[in-house]
Chain A
Amino acid sequence: MIETRGLTKTFGPRTALAGVDLSVDAREFVALVGPNGAGKTTLLRILANLARPTSGSVQIGGLDLAAPSEAARRQIGFLSHRTLLYNDLTAEQNLRFYAQMYDIDPASPRIRRVLERVGLGLRKGDLVQTFSRGMRQRLSVARAVLHEPQVLLLDEPYTGLDPQAVDMVRSLLTELTGAGSTVLLTTHRLGHALTAGQRILVLHHGRVVYDRPGDRVDAASFSATYRTLTQ
């Protein structure tokens, strides 16, 4: 579902990605961990087609992102560290706008269902600027999954969430992978990665330095392994 070959990205003299080869199957739930500046966000932005790689190729669902098509964009749901929400619109207006952008028709039942799923059904008429950080993050998750994408790219999805909301988002993501979506999430919290991921990747200095199925990762020793890998 996600294929990258020799992906590099440089910003002037700085190398953010130094040749990432990645293959993620459909319905896989992959957790990508790495220290700050490892290249996680850059990788996700390239996979979401929001940034162009310096070299290398990306395919999402068999479609090459070098010539991005509307079909490729329709397959991708992206949660950024920014909310991608209009503060001057209500929660419902935000989702209705994105529903129009993704040709969701009828939009109302889908919007209602997603808002209730993230626990914001009762706040749908409130302006986003009145929301707490956690509520905005939940609405961002709702926006990312609204069009039922085949590939979900989530950059630090648990940021700002309380434990109940973390559980809610985690169960929503599990539901989505069960329904056929592929999830690639980044986090710098090892606990979240180990709980969520069927597969754990570690990115360091723009390279994948660790790639193992989640059930073969020893939770007790992973922290020490991670520290060694990212020294």
Chain B
Amino acid sequence: MDYVRKVAAIIEKDIAAELHTREMISAMLVFSALATLIFSFALDLRGELAEAAAPGVLWSTIAFAGTLGLSRSMAREKETGCIDGLLLAPVDRTAIFFGKAVGNLLFMSVVEVALLPLFSVLFDVGLMRARILVVLVLGTVGYAAVGTLLAAIAVNTRAREVMLPVLLLPLAVPVLIAAVRATGALLEGAALSQAAGWIRILVVYDLVIVAVSLLTFGYVVEE
């Protein structure tokens, strides 16, 4: 129970800090809305073409908006040495990872909740389906997990804002491709079984990346 309480405390702390400033979530929301608008008007797609392009545009938007949040979330820990405060405390390093990753997942989810209706209207596609939401959750979990681990690495480098996307995007390729393909298949009206292969990849990716993060996060954050 102590473990869960500490994970919850880290999440609560991140939410409280964000409620005071709103700088991270507002940047993610503005970026998502602008990217969606730009793609919508630039491509000006309807019908099947829109359905074909929408998954790629949607996940690109989520990935880049997520990167903004991930970078800021870990920078907040680094700015005044707060990561040292966490490392000094009698708290398991995996609890720190879970706290940060779940916090990042929540912020990304808030952005997605706002993004989906806008995206559905502008691209004229039906994203608000339970099956697609499952894919969205699985893809976001994987992206937030790998992003949290890599943000902890990038934050210790000099050019951290540049380093995070450089490190993250190659490692996130499997989750992004699987999410795009699964979303595309489900948008075209395929049965869940037809997208099962991609969904299985998402599940396996999530499990592997969470396991790797739990094993390595301590080494990443400690000197």
Residues of A participating in the B interface, judged by any CB pair closer than 8 Å: 45, 48-52, 70-71, 73-74, 76, 78, 80, 82-89, 93, 97-98, 100-103, 127, 143
Q: List 24 A-B contacts (CB under 8 A).
A: A49-B88, A50-B84, A50-B88, A51-B223, A73-B88, A80-B84, A82-B84, A84-B88, A85-B85, A86-B17, A86-B80, A86-B82, A88-B20, A89-B13, A93-B13, A100-B5, A100-B6, A100-B9, A101-B9, A101-B89, A101-B91, A103-B2, A127-B20, A143-B85
Q: Which of A73, A80, A84 has the most CB of B within 10 A?
A: A84
Which residues of the partner chain B approach A49 to less than 8 Å between Cβ atoms? 87-88
Determine whether B81 belongs to the interface, using a CB cutoff of 8 Å to chain A: yes
Determine whether B121 belongs to the interface, using a CB cutoff of 8 Å to chain A: no
Given A49-B88, A98-B85, A101-B6, A87:B80 Cβ within 8 A: yes
Query: B-side binding surface: helix, strand, loop or mixed?
Result: helix
Taking the closest CB of chain B, its distance from the CB of A217, in whole angstroms, is 31
- Size bin of chain B's contact surface: 20 to 34
**Contact in complex: A103, B90 (CB < 8 Å):** yes
A103 to B223, CA, bound (A): 25
Which residues of the partner chain B approach A52 to less than 8 Å between Cβ atoms? 222-223
Task: Convert B1-36 into 0s and 1s, putting 1 for each residue whose CB lies closer than 8 angstroms to a CB of A.
Answer: 010011001001100111011000000000000000
Which residues of the partner chain B approach A100 to less than 8 Å between Cβ atoms? 5-6, 9
A48 to B222, CA, bound (A): 12
The 6 closest A-B pairs by CB, nearest first: A82-B81, A70-B90, A101-B89, A100-B9, A88-B17, A84-B85
- CB contact list, B50-107 vs A, under 8 A: 76, 79-82, 84-92
**Contact in complex: B89, A73 (CB < 8 Å):** yes
Taking the closest CB of chain B, its distance from the CB of A164, in whole angstroms, is 24
A86 to B82, CA, bound (A): 7
A48 to B181, CA, bound (A): 49
Question: Taking CB as reference atom, which chain A residue is nearest B2?
Answer: A103
Contact of A89 among B5, B17, B81, B86 (CB under 8 A): B17
Known: A50-B84, A78-B88, A89-B13. 9 other contacts (CB 8 A): A48-B88, A76-B88, A84-B82, A84-B85, A85-B82, A87-B80, A88-B18, A98-B85, A100-B9
**Contact in complex: A88, B76 (CB < 8 Å):** yes
A141 to B80, CA, bound (A): 15
A32 to B55, CA, bound (A): 61
Which residues of the partner chain A approach B87 to less than 8 Å between Cβ atoms? 49-50
Question: Taking CB as reference atom, which chain A residue is nearest B23?
Answer: A88
Which residues of the partner chain A approach B82 to less than 8 Å between Cβ atoms? 84-86
A175 to B69, CA, bound (A): 44
A143 to B88, CA, bound (A): 12
**Contact in complex: B21, A88 (CB < 8 Å):** yes
